[in-house]
Amino acid sequence: MEQIFDVVIVGGGIVGAATLYKLQERNPELSICLIEKEKALADHQTGNNSGVIHSGIYYKPGSLKAKNCVNGRRELVKFAQEHRIQHDVCGKIIAATDPKEMPNMDKIFNTGLENGIEGMTKLSAEEVKEIEPFCESIGGIHVACTGIIDFRGATEKMAEIATSKQAKSRVVLGEEVTGIERSMGQSIIKTSKNLYRSKYVIFCGGLQADRLAKKDGVQLKEKIVGFRGDYYELTEQAKHKVRHLIYPVPNPDFPFLGVHFTRMVDGEIECGPNAVFTFKREGYGKTDFDLNDTMDALSYGGTWKLFMNNISFGINEYRRAFSKKLFLKTLQRMLPSLTMDDIHPGRAGVRALLLRTDGDTRDDFRIEYTDHSIHVLNAPSPAATASLAIGEQVAQMAEEKMFKTAN
């Protein structure tokens, strides 16, 4: 059966839900349908990340990541307060453990100042221990505005509020988009169960963003490559060793923030993640494998350039993925008192990175448009924190680039 809407949004992570929320808020007369292939919203990157409300301290001043993270964070906290989403603006420590890290820590602090991050303080080793008594460091940064949140709950609430504003709008679960065609000025979206027709389509596909773009006829040189992150959890006997969030000073040569400690909204303490190439885009197990995903990634030159550019890091990450002892050793850089009995294996998440042809993963958020569609092509961390700001940006783009053009 064919169903007709003014706008269809593909992808039910927090960016898709925030886009639905913002677009419906700005245009209450529009009928909007959000299509998600899983049986629940936020079932991939959103629901399997570390649950951190990021401050925006790491991102290049003036970039979309920096602006959207800072603005989105403030709006997300306000949203959580208004709608009783579990959250806690508990603050975090960035702890230096090696004198070689101090110049980069100073650089991060200055970046935070440029990005307008409130509540930042440089700390001595003694001051770090006042906040996190078990953390051994040579100094650090306290970032008071960092927090934790239930991203699944926030995603569901955004969708709930949006669909309550327009009786014709709806969220469809358990339907995968398998094809997209253009006919008589409209898009026909074919799913595993139904057909949908709409004037405009917005794609927030995360791990499948590049494939959805190609289905829509967008010429894209880059590919999405997935990286799995494995977590450990602190056992009950060790939870007292982490009060808030503790992060290392990130290595500027490595495109991830490093293994850190995160107190979750449910009271658990997670340690991780590492970052290893995954042989299945939506594979959360260490041995998960999908032939199509693997061939897609390994036939792309950018993947091999990434491997070669980060070969020593990559080997170490893989070793840690299969060695509790090596994982613990990394954790002990900041918390030397941790023992093997203090940690047990936890869950895993997968991050989607739009990998450039030169193997660079550190691209900014990337959103592109045609006369009938918008594609959120690259939205890695801190996209969940920035989701409401990204949703606002996409809604504005839709009004300026598609709706006005059509009128």
The ranges of the chain annotated as CATH 3.50.50.60 are 2-46+152-222+364-406
Listed as ranges, residues in the chain with pLDDT below 70 are 255, 405-407
- pLDDT, tens digit, 9 for 90 and up, residues 262-302: 999 999 999 988 888 899 999 999 899 999 999 999 999 99
The ranges of the chain annotated as CATH 3.30.9.10 are 223-355
Cα separations in angstroms, 357 against 139, 265, 320, 403: 38, 38, 27, 33
In sequence order, what are the residues at sequence separation of 6 or more whose Cβ sits closer than 8 angstroms to the Cβ of residue 130?
none
Give the Cα separation of 31 and 10 in Å (integer): 14
- pLDDT, tens digit, 9 for 90 and up, residues 94-140: 999 999 999 999 999 999 999 999 999 999 999 999 999 999 999 99
pLDDT on residue 314: 76
Give the Cα separation of 402 and 13 in Å (integer): 23
Whole-prediction pTM: 0.95
- Domain 223-355 class in CATH: alpha beta
In sequence order, what are the residues at sequence separation of 6 or more whose Cβ sits closer than 8 angstroms to the Cβ of residue 270?
50, 231, 232, 233, 234, 261, 262, 264, 346
pLDDT on residue 199: 94
Give the Cα separation of 4 and 30 in Å (integer): 12
pLDDT on residue 275: 85
What average pLDDT does the chain have?
94
pLDDT on residue 405: 63
pLDDT on residue 407: 52
Cross-strand bridge partners of residue 367: 376
Does the domain at 2-46+152-222+364-406 match CATH 1.10.357.10? Answer given as no
